[in-house]
Structure 1
Amino acid sequence: MSVSEPLTLDPTGSDPHGEHKALHERGPATRVDLLGVTAWSVSDPALLKKLLTGPDVSKDARQHWPQFAETVPTWPLALWVAVENMFTSYGSDHRRLRRMVAPSFSARRIAALGERVESIVDDLLDVLERTPEGEAADVRELFAYPLPIQVICHLMGVPEERREGFRELVDNVFATTLSPDEAAANTAALYAVLDDLIAEKRERPGEDMTSLLIDTRDEEGDGSALSEAELRDTLLLMISAGYETTVNLLDQAITVLLTHPEQLALVREGRAGWSDVVEETLRFEPAVKHLPLRFAVNDIPLPDGQVIAKGEPILASYAAANRHPDWHGETADVFDMTRTAPGPEHLAFGHGVHFCLGAPLARLEATTALEKFFARFPDARLGVPAEELRPVPSLISNGHETLPVVLRPEPGAR
């Protein structure tokens, strides 16, 4: 394939590491086919950080993507560029929307969630402990999924009876194998559930973030503080980003520790901490591989002489950037919690003004969950060979379809 031809990204995500290497070989940025949309994938970390912090790149598709109106009706990933919240905003709009959400993720509020997170983790581990000796439990389904769902739904005030419905709909947002009609139907169903939640919280507000955002929306008579669409899409962002990425983080962290026992030994010997596990996992196997989309506000010259033209889409290829040899050298593809210069530095939470507000919460959940999991199940091992673990069918989400783990091997198997 000529480098001038776009590299087609696999919607099933079947070989992410091979895809990362292909992107590296094509230079700091290269054109890719993203489910029918041609975009510039940026996998060089220095260039990506520069673009993410400069004014020449926007996330506002309506304002800066000339093909927005013609593309959105038939593109499976339309929701990723059509939502109206801080994820897709630019300039003063982004500052306004982020300012409304930021207080809910303050250091004080996150610290206050510590006891609840510990309690949820303990309850989930009690369930896992009922797995008979020698049998495998799906740790993604029974542990990695329910923890962040319960935490974010508590934060947002989502009633327990609504949570399972949210999960399936949000999973489909990250899936990249849906047809345009299936994606549109999922979006419609998701918005219907959100509208019901908003109506319920307007009638019976509580001490939760949804009620707080509704107050912000309704306190201004002209709606200038937060439009109805921004309210709904902000709830969508908080719920989806608040759990899907943490599911993958827990999934990948448990996987790498079970496949790298020498690294797990470092933690048990006190030579590394659980935060080191989390940060190196975020570098080595970030929860999000590619994040759609940004757009060039002006022509952007590239180091190799190419130019991203004004209005062209840009794909932040975080996973490929995290493993770039210019950043982490010859050991970029090695899981190593002891790496130095620059250490386990990564872009898993983004960079610049769009850096993930929920990063402290994800770190709290992950460190708590991992420490307690491996204390409760010190002899845990994968239930299948690592090469048999199947990736979720997505070019965005980076996890496994299932994660079978034998939590308590039979005595003779230890």
Structure 2
Amino acid sequence: MSCPNCKSTQTDVNELDGSICCLQCGTVIEDALLRETFEESANYVPAMSRQKAGNHSRLLSTFSKAAVFFGLPEDLVETGKELCREFISKSTTTFLNEVAVYIAFIVSREWKSEWNLMDFVEAFPIPLYLPQVYRTRNVLKGSINAHWRTPQEELNHFIVRIYPLVVKQVYRDHSRPKPLSLSELKSKTRALLDLGSAYCLNTAKKARPLMVVTALIAGLSIRVTNPANYPKRSKMISARRRLCFSEFTSVCFSSKVSLSTRYDEYLDLLFACASCIPWIKKVEKSYVHYYLDDILSSFGTKTPILVLPLDRFAVRSFQRNQQMRKFIETSTEEAKQCLREQTEPNDKSSIAYAIYSLLQFGFQEHQIVGFNEAYIRNMAHSLLLRNLASGSDVQLDLDREEVDEKDMSDKEIEIYLK
């Protein structure tokens, strides 16, 4: 093929992008993507096979650059190239950076164990499309371990990363913070997470915020129970003292409000457990970490000595649902009483009046109890609007000569016709 610019027939392949260029003037004659996808070879290889071959070479090149950026050793680079070949054999994609970063994360789990997937994504200099990163995991699923782990499984790697921050917060009021035992901190944090899992406190929650708050409680417990760290003449340290949760937001990808909420939930659980232990008297929620060893030995073992009754503790979302259900049941009884007495609730803005409207329309009691407050109000309002729209039983006479007060004037009609 001759060059359209200088008419020369001498061409060469550009090593940077694989395109065909004129050797004399440098004009691009064929783009790399078009050449790899549509150019027929001498053996007439099918187009899909040529496309996969092109994707394979580009993916290997992209992964090599990512491996150099993250500083992966040679043995991990070879393992990553094998995963690249496996990915290309199963799927094709144009999101090569996303695939390369995910494979770099997979092969470096033991080498850089304190890094999570989001750490690799945030550190990579090119913005990545997260859905395609997760899609790579789905394609390779079955041959590698998933990166979604429970807090107990990820604790060994993550506790090392947050250890300096935990020590800083535990000794926040101390001029010379003393080091905590990492093994003791890890064991107590794991026992706290197991206790929270037993009472559904970790269900549908992010792992890292849970590990942060449990490590803080465990660190406070180690400080106040270790005589070397906590002299007897010292004042009691409150668990509700001013903790700076903002220092953990960059490592656990969660807000200060979320961390504070998880922290309060664990304090509620420990307070409920301490209240059930007979030898603990006059326990306060702010100082419940002083009894953490007793709580874990009584409630946190595989065969616990004590079991927390359901009426003593429940997750806050469960408590709100139970309170709302009781409130709706009470309002339903009030609305049924008004129907029997042929009266109406006094407050027309109350939930009882909304339930009263639904019962009048024909809803059953078991249906209303299963609804939430917002749905009950919206349904009652929609029924009210429908009744107002169809409330006139008198057929209007459009041929009458007299003017009704509900009729529009000629000027108003002209405004609507414009």
TM-score (norm 2): 0.20
Higher relative CO (Cα under 8 Å, sequence separation at least 6) belongs to 1
Larger strand proportion of the pair: 1
* Structure with max Cα Rg: 2
